[in-house]
Amino acid sequence: MLDKTGFDLWADGYDMDVQLSEESGEYPFAGYREVLGTVYKTVREKMGTVLDIGFGTGVLTRKLYDDGYLITGIDFSERMIKIAAEKMPGANLIQYDFAQGLPAALGDTKFDWIISTYAIHHLTDEKKASFIRDLLGHLAEDGTIIFGDVAFQNTRDLEYAMERDRPIWDDEEDYLVADRIKGMFPDLWIDFKKISYCSGVLTIKREDNRGALNRQEYNLSRLAKLIEEKNKIDAEITSITERPAILGHVGEYIASQIFRISLEESASQKSYDGQFIDGPLAGKSVNIKWYTRRTGLLDINPEACPDFYLVLSGPRANAGSSRGMTLPWVISEVFLFDSLELMRNLEKRGVKLGIATSLTLEIWDKAKIYPNGTNRQLALTDNQIKALSLFK
């Protein structure tokens, strides 16, 4: 984490460094322009006063300043303030380390908008909570707080990005997790918009009875737009797979391309989905599954078993309620079950076969072919491994 001197030294090259990271689509600035654009469009909904925390060189604040907003800004880098002051000579720019709270110079001023982009990650979760409480004291009654940053909806999304960018991940920074902030402030209206795999925009408002109604209207409107976007994406997926864009059909298509499987003409074939074209399993029938979570259950039709079950799976499911859980379409693991061997094993143990047949961890591990699989019935090529990694 940079100190004041570090930020002063970085100031002149800051905009260029951001541009390089943003254009590459990589952490930490993937989606940077859209983050700033989202914050800007939201603030433009209503004229008023703006407090910008950690405004840097004033990329966003300058646009609002030019639009006629009254700007107050806080940053602890003297050099960045000088750069921003050249862009906004009429703004009230205060040099202060917001990690220590808010400067006394603000007095009891209330702001219509309090924004902060790519700065709040310098505070721990505990300090974030305290800082947000301080900001609420300077927020107009119908005001809004907006954070745009390296940010995530939940811990799982954070851990995914951390693992993906482990070589360059900054462990000294504490990134926003929307679900944590919601837990800290249950009485506030809090919304999160994901921008990229490692960025997003968090919006905070006070909520009264009227606010709850507005929130309901907003949620319905937002949901309608998301469904509209999803419908367009589904149409694109169908144009590729030539089948409805549902998990099972898409999984069958992915498996057919990676494992060279000739799919049956009818997607409703009950016993199997296709046959391996070549390799050690050439001519063998296969039933393809794609589960968003590995729960330990496998759908088996004892009346019509294929030669093999090929299972694409998301991460292992955790115990507890699934309420509020997202179920992204990812492939974390792949398993290949020899049906005959599996049936013998289950019958020997007296396991009831059906749509939710419970398999032991040992059986799953033995069937694993990706990643680092122990099942040698189907050894994966480098190209197959690379293709599967696209869906992590």
pLDDT digits (tens, 9 = 90+) for 123-181: 999 999 999 999 999 999 999 999 999 999 999 999 999 999 999 999 999 999 999 99
Mean per-residue pLDDT for 98-112? 95
Q: What percent of the chain has pLDDT over 90?
A: 70
Domain ranges in the chain? 4-207, 243-389
Mean per-residue pLDDT for 95-119? 95
pLDDT at 284 over 90: yes
Superfamily of domain 4-207: Vaccinia Virus protein VP39 (3.40.50.150)
Nearest residue to 148 (alpha-carbon basis) of 232, 30, 325, 295: 30
pLDDT at 267: 59
pLDDT at 56: 84
Per CATH, which fold does 243-389 belong to?
PvuII Endonuclease; Chain A (3.40.210)
Which range has the worst mean pLDDT, 194-208, 278-292, 308-322?
A: 308-322
pLDDT at 85: 92
pLDDT in tens, 231-268: 999 999 999 999 999 999 999 999 999 999 999 987 56
Residue 111, amino acid = F
pLDDT at 353: 85
pLDDT at 194 over 90: yes
Whether pTM > 0.75 for this model: the answer is no
Nearest residue to 38 (alpha-carbon basis) of 161, 194, 198, 188: 194
Nearest residue to 132 (alpha-carbon basis) of 120, 149, 143: 120
Q: What is the mean pLDDT of the chain?
A: 88
CA 294-299-301 angle, 5° bins: 165
pLDDT at 310 over 80: yes
Q: Dihedral, CA atoms, 335, 340, 342, 347, nearest 10 degrees?
A: 160
pLDDT in tens, 330-362: 999 999 999 999 999 998 888 888 888 999 999
pLDDT at 80: 86
